[in-house]
Chains A and B, each alone.
Chain A
Amino acid sequence: MEISDHTKVAILGAGRDGLALLDLLHHIPSIEIVGITDRNPAAPGLQRARELQIPVIINVPDLIGNHGVNLFLDATGDPEMEASLHAHKPPGANILSGSASRLLWKLIRHESKLEAELLQSEKLAGIGSFAAGIAHDINNPLQLILGLAENLAEERDLTTVHEQAQDIIEAVKRTSAICRDLTRYSRRASPHQDVLVPVNEKLDEALKIARYASSLHDIEMIKQYQPGAAVKGNPDELLHVLVNLITNAVHAMERGGGTLTLETTVHDGQVHVRISDTGCGIALDKLDEIFEPFFTTKAPGKGTGLGLYNVKTIVNKMHGAIAIDSQIDRGTTFTLTFPKAEPAG
């Protein structure tokens, strides 16, 4: 069976298997879940569907008779359901049931695991390039702490002792914040945890992390955030996307500095996130390739070539889109567009 560009799917059964199918399929932009049904109104998949704003069909035959459906996924394991489905489905609609349906679920789950692995390996490989930045940010406060402590060992003026002790405390706090930020970033993204993510906060968090990957010293920063820019997704994954794009932007300006602009706008139910640099730009004939896995312009050992591939995978999963505007030696703008998420309640 060929899955066309846009597939309308109905899920029958909202138990463990149906719930898993729902969780995995709703991330795929080319798949629309027309509805989910179960004889048991307390089935966990129905609750999840309501959260995801996917239609819950109480009356099973209503869903089976829906002419808009291309593909029925029968996760009930119930022979009666299978028979009824074959008897009443609209002509032309396909059915995946029983072990075929379970196989599909297993395959998708496997792929989603691989995807998570790929993301994590790229993230960890990237952290290697943070070494210089981390060393700088830890060893500078350590130098201050050591120098002050050496002085305190001999200092007799009580006011100076108090002041310098306070300086040491502040320096220790700054240093421990580095480890906190990095462990938060490097942890494995928790799977299927879509929540409301405030984009402006994530941009600031990403900026802190990107500082380790490359020096922002010679870069002028412009931030134009529209309040209320919120999207639905996995916060860890969105952070990863933003760190990636900011790091790329900064790397593009490695020679001679430039301006990094971070902008969010909200209109027509969409959130736009713009990351612009005034760097080297991307050649027109490379634009198609940059999202390919293992594509890199960096020297061997300097980049994994998985950065933008993962960016694209995550943005797709969030039902978002990426647009690039680039001119050689003038700079590049990445625009991410996501459906706007409303705070619950």
Chain B
Amino acid sequence: MDEFKSGFFIGGEACEGRVLVVDDEPDIRKVVKMTLQKAGYEVLEAENGEKAIEVINSGENRLLLDVVICDIRMPKINGAEAVAYFRSNYPRVPLIVLTGFPDTDMATSFLRQGVVDYLVKPVEGEKLRSAVARAIEQRELAKL
């Protein structure tokens, strides 16, 4: 009945991809999850960099994680440290930074490290979904 429900099954019965959202604010995780689920993504959550590393290192996530969306200002292991960890240990998983603080220097440094997108909150659902889709597409192309 809903358009987005039909979207959930785009491309046969499979989901569009598995996304890990790393943000210390439960509200942000909730709303990003809602936005991506509508487009058929499966969404995992982590409240900081430390938890994110735990999630990616557990079980099948290691293989099945398609995109990581990461905040910067977080407790424990912050976004910048998490990005560095992901880039060196999981260079094949595309990273999108989603931050509340637009900082050109930081953005440049992240993009140089191989982060595929640098988005500033608040980001519209459509923009977020297309950033995720683009990240997955680029990864698929890289595999060829």
Contacts and interface: CB of A to CB of B under 8 A. Distances in A.
Interface of A: 131-132, 135-148, 150-151, 154, 156, 167, 171, 215, 217-218
Contacts of B31: 143-144, 146-148
Contact of B75 (A138, A148, A217): A217
Interface stretch (B9-17, B51-59, B88-96, B99-107): B99-107
A339 to B, nearest CB: 39
A217 B28 contact: no
A136 B101 contact: yes
Given A143-B121, A145-B122, A146-B122, A154 B4 contact: yes
Contacts of A146: 31, 122-125
A216 to B, nearest CB: 9
B34 interface: yes
Interface residues of B, number: 27
Contacts of A140: 25, 27-28, 100, 121
A143 B101 CA distance: 12
Contacts of B133: none
A139 B119 CA distance: 12
Interface string B1-37: 0111000000000000000000011011011101100
B120 interface: yes
Given A132-B101, A143-B122, 14 more contacts: A135-B102, A136-B73, A136-B100, A136-B101, A140-B25, A140-B100, A143-B27, A144-B31, A148-B31, A150-B125, A154-B2, A156-B2, A218-B75, A218-B76
A132 B122 contact: no
Contacts of B25: 140
Interface core residue of A139, A141, A151 (most chain B CB under 10 Å): A139
Interface in B61-111: 73-76, 78, 100-103
Given A141-B27, A142-B121, A142-B122, A147 B34 contact: yes
15 contacts: A132-B101, A136-B100, A136-B101, A139-B121, A143-B27, A143-B28, A143-B32, A145-B122, A146-B125, A147-B31, A151-B34, A215-B73, A217-B24, A217-B76, A217-B78
Contacts of A137: 100
